[in-house]
Amino acid sequence: MHDVVVTQYGIVSPIGNSIPEFEQRMFAGESGIVDVRGSFVGKDFPVPFGAVVDDSAIPSAEELNIEPYTQTHGGRYSLYAFQQILDQLPKKLPIDGIVQGTPAGIFFEVVRHSLRNYNPDAFIWDEIRAEWVVEIIADRLKSSGHGDIPPQYQISVNSACAAGGQAIGMAYRFLQSGRMKRCLVTAVDAGAWESQLMNFHLLHTLTVDDLPAHAASRPFAKSRSGFVKGEAAAALLLETREAAEERGAEILAEVCGYAFNSDAYRLTDGREDNLCVVKAMEDAIADAGIEPGSIDYINAHGTSTQLNDRLETQAIKKVFGQDAYRIPVSSLKSQIGHPTVAAGAVEAIACMLMLQRQRIAPTINLTDPDPECDLDYVSEGCRDATLDFVLSNSFGFGGQNACLVFKRGNT
């Protein structure tokens, strides 16, 4: 079994479109949430908030040489995050695979089928597939001299809000087993537009409270009333430790534990007994070969919904017992909203930055603690800490649970 490390990453997010900007604003506790009415949506739209990317400095679809197939910017964001890695890669460094967390999948199949029935001559829809961004990235790796990735290792996964974590976990398993030496992971969701916001609004999951935008996402607060839909993209290069050390790469963090399961309980609600969430955390910690007490920090899924935050708090207590009150917890979604499919990958980068800097990013807006959410949520601002192992949780609709354990790169 091979150790698996992360050597490079890139990001597009509501608080920065580069790692230095994202890091600075994350530790400063800044919010990337804005009022979208009158700009992204109509002035009388029922959902007031979104965590949107400032894409003014991101190249256009034309400049990136991609077709603007849809009204989303997912292709642009994915390629821009990927480009941040590509620009740093040594020439002709072979990449063996790509795993992408995508919001597409069955959605594209349904749309394509419906439109083909409506207009059989609209052949362009036969060219749209969930994996088209992966294929573009594979082509660009090939043209840049980084190898020809076979189709079976150009993988797209959609496990809702767990997809970013699952994509990292799948790459981790490929590398751990020796099937690959290097694997690129990408995840993207650029869905802060009318139809997506309305979809989540009809599920009663988004906050519509009358308050300043920066205070809209408030995980673990008594007054929390739903999440804020966000958008983001992340790219990470995973390597076996041997491959990284052979080329003298800087090791940013180690991926040392992973677990994924699904309870298929309900479309949106989690199980009240937390059975599968608890097991996912326990299995990821066991996979890392450590005891629960070795975890120094938990990056919570922390969506700011009444149900999720209460159940996640209960699950943490079941896994860690009295230790749960010792371990700092925070939710990045208080700052960037919930970028759904991309969340696990963006939060993985956040965890690695925390490991490198030995600092914990805060849970902002937690001014009225919920008595049922009584853990240490780092609400006072950025906190210095000794961090060797961190746990990151990602829980998706349909009961899909991905948990990752990251280790400090030099330990």
**Domain final position from 253, 283, 308:** 253
Torsion of CA 290, 292, 295, 298, to 10 degrees: 130
Percentages (nearest 5) of helix, strand, coil residues in the chain = 35, 20, 40
**Domain final position from 195, 227, 253:** 253
Domain hosting residue 29, numbered range: 4-253
Q: How far apart are CA 392 and CA 238, in angstroms?
A: 17
C-alpha torsion sign, points 193, 213, 270, 378: positive
Q: For residue 16, what is the DSSP state?
A: B
85 with 199, same domain: the answer is: yes
Looking at this protein, which amino acid is placed at residue 11?
Answer: I
244 with 260, same domain: the answer is: no
User: Which tens digits make up the pLDDT trace of 161-220?
Assistant: 999 999 999 999 999 999 999 999 999 998 777 888 998 999 899 999 999 999 999 999
CATH assignment of the domain containing 188: 3.40.47.10
Give me the pLDDT at residue 404, please.
98
List, for the chain, all residue ranges whose pLDDT scores fall below the cut of 70: 68-72, 104-131, 411
List the beta bridge partners of residue 13.
16
Give me the pLDDT at residue 264, please.
81
Looking at this protein, which amino acid is placed at residue 25?
Answer: R
Q: How far apart are CA 11 and CA 8, in angstroms?
A: 11
Q: Quick one: which of 215, 222, 228, 403 has its CA closest to 298?
A: 403
Q: How far apart are CA 200 and CA 227, in angstroms?
A: 9
Tell me what percent of the residues of the chain surpass a pLDDT of 90.
Answer: 76
Q: How far apart are CA 127 and CA 113, in angstroms?
A: 12
What is the pTM for the complete model shown?
Answer: 0.93
167 with 34, same domain: the answer is: yes
User: Which tens digits make up the pLDDT trace of 80-103?
Assistant: 999 999 999 999 999 999 999 987
Q: Catalytic residue positions?
A: 161, 301, 338
187 with 299, same domain: the answer is: no
Give me the pLDDT at residue 194, please.
84
Estimate the crossing angle of helix 132-143 against helix 74-86, to 10 degrees. 30
Q: For 58-64, which contacts have Cβ atoms below 8 Å and span 24 or more sequence positions?
A: 58/12, 58/17
**Domain final position from 253, 288, 305:** 253
29 touches 336 (CB < 8 A): no
Give me the pLDDT at residue 110, please.
46
134 with 179, same domain: the answer is: yes
61 with 136, same domain: the answer is: yes
How many residues can be counted in the chain?
Answer: 411
Q: How far apart are CA 69 and CA 136, in angstroms?
A: 14
145 with 174, same domain: the answer is: yes
11 with 84, same domain: the answer is: yes
286 with 220, same domain: the answer is: no
Give me the pLDDT at residue 71, please.
43
Give me the pLDDT at residue 185, please.
97
How many folded domains does the chain comprise? 2
- Residue environment code for 167-186, b if the CB has 16+ CB neighbours within 10 A, otherwise e: bbbbbbbbbbeeebbbbbbb
288 with 271, same domain: the answer is: yes
Give me the pLDDT at residue 65, please.
82
237 with 267, same domain: the answer is: no
102 with 209, same domain: the answer is: yes
